[in-house]
Chain A
Amino acid sequence: MKDTRPGTGAAAGGRAIEISGLRKSFGTTEVLRGIDFHVERGEVVCVIGPSGSGKSTLLRCVNLLEEPSAGTIRVAGVDVTDPDVDIDAVRRGIGMVFQSFNLFPHLTALGNVTIAQRKVLRRGRAEAERIARENLGRVGLADRVGAFPAQLSGGQQQRVAIARALAMGPGVMLFDEPTSALDPELVGDVLGVMRGLAVEGMTMLVVTHEMSFAREVADRVVFMDGGVVVEEGPPSRVIADPAHERTRAFLSRVLDPAAARIEDADAAVDADVGDAAAEDGRP
């Protein structure tokens, strides 16, 4: 079998992620309709867009949690869609953080961070635990190593999940709406950890609704809608001065959700008033 670990071998010179002509259908629904884009080493790319735009599917295609229908995806130069590629080896080099954390509930925080090191990388117990403690410390949870997921807050669980991915020494980290399932007051902790990773030079592809995070941390922002990349560029341009009407409409909804809610509420009230008037009008 080929050595397909990203960051090793002759292919190590490639871009962190390079996607071309990516299409993905679920049944007759085409979710991704030809995506071309890339992530350079050390770059932080944030993918934004309305729900159903295919952002998460795009991310899940990168480590083949979803099988692409067409197109190629290269991770550190390795074509992951090649059926001869050892996908387990590729995944070892890609850290994935899920919206719903997906911690292993039957293992402690330490167990969550050590199990793949031990079973996949074949590290010894002592080494795996040392690396696990290091990474749990890195996400600010050095004092919760013995806690089970059910004993941790959502923010703490997500940080354990980040430590779990980091312990494998990935070349790139994928984040699939990492703060969407969190209570608002816990979002900051997780974003803080991610900001720290970005500063350390980690290559990151982040699907997010946190516009302030995207604006501050991202090197590049990609706006997706309807299964295509509508526009991309530095956050100062895409978020502050979008070129496309669709981007502008999405941002005005996301950046000022309160206003959007009030608008919706107004519309609802208008409708109610209309209904009431109609009822009154009946004999």
Chain B
Amino acid sequence: MTAEQAAVPGGMSRRRRRQISLWTQYGLFAAVVLVVALLADWPKLRVNFANWGVAKDLFPDVITVGLRNTVVYTAVGFGIGLALGLVIALMRLSSAAPYRWFATVYIEVFRGLPLLLIFIFVGVGVPLAFPGTTIPGGAVGQTGVALGVSAAAYMAETIRAGIEAVPRGQTEAARSLGMSHGRAMASIVLPQAFRIVVPPLTNQLVLLCKDSSLVLFLGVTLEQRELTKFGRDLAGQQGNTTPIIVAGICYLVVTIPLSLLARRLEARRHGGRR
């Protein structure tokens, strides 16, 4: 009797036991799927969630208004977030202590707040705090600011990590050539840091794309509706859930390729030489 057999009660081999355990798991999984499928009311589902007639009427507006606005809100939010995030990251790494404190507080505060709260603050709080002022650009400006100030906190940490990942020798070489601190940062460190942070920033873009749906709490006009608001409104009007499904598919059309892109960039970075 070998040592392996001796360790298994009942004389069953280890491989056999693993097989049984695996098939039990598959069986349970299949049973759960089957039960859910049997409980669902398929004809009703088809009419309410995959109603071809309702879906067809959504086009082209779901693309030209909904998807378009989602992309615009996301892009503006990303732009503001990136610019602000870079500034906060540089402050975080500054030799001046007050800058570092400010950056740390900023990052902790905005990472700790629900995004919805920030949207409400931008929509309601800013006009109250600064009477007579509204954020320029209407819904686009407001959404961009709300998404941007929140994303900046996350992006600042990402960018800081990217800057710190650039070897010290790079700065030393740049400074030795007579470059000032700022010049070395701009010409030597940041170009390398951004290459490092492209994958995480792409993931951030995916998050922003989904979070742009919160604009509906700001109150938007018909032309300013993005995918979620658009889908929800039409679902209400039609008394049918299909528009929600169509809006969801539109999100996935944008987010899945971005996620795949981020994963590929990451794989290339880890696989490639430096």
Q: Which residues of A contact B (CB under 8 A)?
A: 63, 65, 88-89, 91-92, 94-96, 98, 100, 102-106, 115-116, 119-121, 150, 161, 164-165, 168
Contact = CB atoms under 8 A, between A and B. Distances in A.
B271 to A, nearest CB: 13
Interface residues of B, number: 20
A116 B170 CA distance: 13
Contacts of A65: 172, 175-176
B195 interface: yes
Contact of A91 (B175, B187, B274): B175
A235 B2 CA distance: 71
Interface of B: 167, 169-170, 172-180, 183, 187-188, 191-192, 195, 273-274
Contacts of B174: 104, 116
B274 A102 contact: no
B177 A164 contact: yes
Contacts of A120: 177-179, 183
Given A104-B188, A106-B191, A150-B274, A116 B172 contact: no
Contacts of A94: 176
Contacts of B188: 104, 115
Nearest to B186: A119
Contact of B177 (A89, A100, A116): A116
Nearest to B181: A88
16 contacts: A65-B175, A65-B176, A89-B178, A91-B175, A102-B172, A104-B192, A105-B274, A106-B192, A106-B195, A115-B187, A119-B183, A119-B187, A120-B177, A150-B273, A150-B274, A165-B177
> Top 5 nearest A-B pairs by Cβ distance?
A92-B178, A116-B177, A102-B173, A96-B176, A102-B169
A103 B226 CA distance: 47
A104 B177 contact: no
A91 B177 contact: yes
A119 B174 CA distance: 11
Nearest to B177: A116
Given A106-B191, A106-B192, A119-B183, A98 B177 contact: no
Given A104-B170, A104-B188, A150-B273, A88 B176 contact: no
A65 B173 CA distance: 10
B122 to A, nearest CB: 37
Most buried by A among B169, B173, B175: B173
A168 B174 CA distance: 12
A98 B172 contact: yes
A177 to B, nearest CB: 13
Nearest to B175: A91
B198 to A, nearest CB: 13
